[in-house]
Amino acid sequence: MKVTEHIKQAKGKTLFSFELIPPIKGKSIQELYDNIDSLMEFKPPFIDVTTSREEYVYIDKGGLLEKKVTRMRPGTVGICSSIQHKYHVDTVPHLLCGGFTKEETEYVLVDCHYLGIDNVMALRGDSIKEERYFTPTEGGHCYAKELVEQIRNLSHGQYLHETITSDDYPDFCIGVAGYPEKHLEAPSLQTDLKRLKEKVDAGADYVVTQMFFDNQKYFEFVEAAKNLGINVPIIPGIKPVAVKRHLQLLPQVFRIDIPQDLIDAVENCKNNKEVRQIGVEWAIQQSKELKAAGVPVLHYYSMGKSDNIKAIAKEVF
């Protein structure tokens, strides 16, 4: 079922959802299942599975290093399908512009349709680790909006190279990313919001936000989006701080602010176990306020570990 249908059926009740990262190539999927198992009591109607960008690796060829490109965490669509089969919940595979040609994207979408996956998250993707800026893949899309257009075209039978008349069009519910503190490359929040509006106008059905630690930023973002005519659900993304290093890392990577009270609390911690507890408490307060404000879903970035998300969900749902 579509994410937007779940939201409609909830009739104003806030839903719980989370996102998972595929295991590193060669590792068992069991740890991922263990994380899902411990969160199922909160009845997530859908679970997101991220897609990672490819990376450069250097293979030793008798003293000469050969540069190769590989994806360290493949398997997004397979994992989505296995979750749907095992847990009977909907899944949302993340699709990226970066690293995929338009043809490869079309094949992934066909796979999703055959596997009974009704939702996809359309994203540009970050730059490859070794590159400073995002470089579009040859034959791929430059911006998430173009990916949304490709996905939406399928619901009219419009494939890349042919238009097909059918009684079985892939009609995906499409999510896109939104940034309450603006995307790091955008020249201003207003410009970034205009880009978000373009994604919605191209056919996106809902928005999931980048993490934020100050709810006011989310409320202002939703208000500004509404003023621009963005009328789809805007789902807040919540990430509990887990280690002291997050104080530097999160602002550096995502260009987000961390409130002074949270910084002070984390800095006063003696170890990362205490930081994890502070992160949980902060996220509980954030979640409770957002729920009271009637957000459609609270979406948690689990980063592959569920203990802190479980502690939060226990207090909120």
**Window contacting ligand FAD (CB under 6 A); options: 38-46, 191-199, 239-247, 268-276:** 191-199
**Window contacting ligand FAD (CB under 6 A); options: 49-57, 164-172, 269-277, 287-295:** 49-57
**What is the Cα 62 distance to its own chain's centre?**
41
Nearer to ligand FAD, 142 or 269 (CB): 142
Task: Rule CB under 6 A: choose which of 6, 73, 183, 310 binds ligand FAD.
Answer: 183
Task: Rule CB under 6 A: choose which of 23, 125, 180, 279 binds ligand FAD.
Answer: 125
Task: Rule CB under 6 A: choose which of 4, 17, 51, 105 binds ligand FAD.
Answer: 51
Residue 316 binds ligand FAD (CB under 6 A): no
Least distance to ligand FAD, CB of residue 19, Å? 7
Residue 186 binds ligand FAD (CB under 6 A): yes
Task: Rule CB under 6 A: choose which of 237, 240, 279, 296 binds ligand FAD.
Answer: 237
Residue 94 binds ligand FAD (CB under 6 A): yes
Residue 310 binds ligand FAD (CB under 6 A): no
Q: Looking only at residues 143 through 172 of this chain, which bind ligand FAD when binding is defined by CB under 6 A?
A: 143-145
Least distance to ligand FAD, CB of residue 186, Å? 4
Residue 291 binds ligand FAD (CB under 6 A): no
Least distance to ligand FAD, CB of residue 293, Å? 19
Residue 201 binds ligand FAD (CB under 6 A): no
Measured between alpha carbons, how far is 103 from 159 in angstroms, rounded to an integer?
Answer: 9
Give the burial class of 46: count Cβ atoms within 10 A of its Cβ; 0-12 exposed, 13-18 middle, 19 or more buried. Answer: buried
Catalytic annotation, pick one of 19, 54, 106, 146: 19
- Pair 3, 205: CB distance under 8 Å: yes
Measured between alpha carbons, how far is 11 from 8 in angstroms, rounded to an integer?
Answer: 6
**Window contacting ligand FAD (CB under 6 A); options: 120-128, 226-234, 260-268, 278-286:** 120-128
Residue 258 binds ligand FAD (CB under 6 A): no
Residue 47 binds ligand FAD (CB under 6 A): no
DSSP, residue by residue, the chain = --HHHHHHHHTTPPEEEEEE-PPPTTS-SHHHHHHHHHHGGG--SEEEE--PPPEEEEEEETTEEEEEEE-SS--HHHHHHHHHHHH--EEEEEEESTT--HHHHHHHHHHHHHTT--EEEEE-----TT-SS--PPTTS-SSHHHHHHHHHHHTTTB-SS-B---S-----EEEEEE-TT--TT-S-HHHHHHHHHHHHHTT--EEEEEE-S-HHHHHHHHHHHHHTT--S-EEEEE----STTHHHHHHHHH-----HHHHHHHHT-SSHHHHHHHHHHHHHHHHHHHHHTT-SEEEEE-TT--HHHHHHHHHH-
Residue 18 corresponds to which amino acid? F
**Window contacting ligand FAD (CB under 6 A); options: 79-87, 118-126, 241-249, 305-313:** 118-126
Nearer to ligand FAD, 185 or 307 (CB): 185
Active site residue 19: yes
Residue 96 binds ligand FAD (CB under 6 A): yes
Residue 141: which of 114, 188, 187, 108 has the closest Cα?
108
Task: Rule CB under 6 A: choose which of 185, 201, 261, 264 binds ligand FAD.
Answer: 185
**Window contacting ligand FAD (CB under 6 A); options: 78-86, 159-167, 177-185, 271-279:** 177-185
* Active-site annotation, residues: 19
